[in-house]
Amino acid sequence: MTKEKKSKLRQQIEGWVWALVVALFLRYFVLQAYRIPSGSMEDTLLPGDFLLVFKPVYGIEIPYTQIKFFQFAKPSRGDIVIFRFPLDPSKDFVKRCIGLPGDTIEIRDKAVYVNGRRLFEPYAIHKDANIIPALMEIRDEFTREEFQRMWEERELLDEPKVRDNLGPIVVPEKTYFVLGDNRDNSSDSRFWGPVPEKYLKGIPLIIYFSWDSHANNIFSSLRIQRFFQIPFIWPKNPYFVDEM
């Protein structure tokens, strides 16, 4: 092999290496592709929606660790967030942030109250008209503290009675309370407790592709009308019913 050919081959290899380095940098620190696996965020996000997730907003994380630095923002009430599932950090979940650290959250017959005020939630849907009675009546400070403990220690994981009636509970420091928009079909903070701030991964930037796996044919399975949509967030600081 001549020196000229060796030089060209070396340039090609260097080009491939740099392309790989840039791709890995973007993957670990800037953008990540994410597919919606379930219907817990319907109708905001549908199963088969493919998102680009912007990662640096909640801090730049060293790969394969939970060490972050340069946190640029924190979630606001109403934001859609991507995070590690607290019970299995190898899995990523997407939900809507409803409660911030220190907030008192209560759900009464499916209606969400934050700090005693009912949240106006046009994004939330309820497909089951039935209302499941509360697990327990919060009568005094003792029962309230006991319920708070059970919730924080994730003892309500398999308890269906917290779906429509919950709390009141207080969101601990450096954690967030999240709910799926499809309230009657969502595994979220009602059942498995708060999301630690260190588990936040990013926010969805755009739906770049959408595929309906249950469609009859390949043409109808493509949800072209959802391509390049920005996930709907309403509003940035959600209203309360008494403000309408």
Task: Quote the CA–CA distance of 69 and 29 in Å, as a whole number.
Answer: 11
Task: Quote the CA–CA distance of 243 and 221 in Å, as a whole number.
Answer: 41
Task: Quote the CA–CA distance of 93 and 38 in Å, as a whole number.
Answer: 10
Residues 6+ apart with CB under 8 A from 198: 66, 68, 174
C-alpha separations of 237 from 21, 109, 240 in Å? 38, 23, 10
Active site positions, annotated: 40, 95
Of the candidates 85, 91, 88, 96, the one whose C-alpha atom is nearest the C-alpha of residue 40 is: 96
Task: Quote the CA–CA distance of 26 and 20 in Å, as a whole number.
Answer: 10
C-alpha separations of 232 from 27, 41, 136, 215 in Å? 24, 11, 35, 24
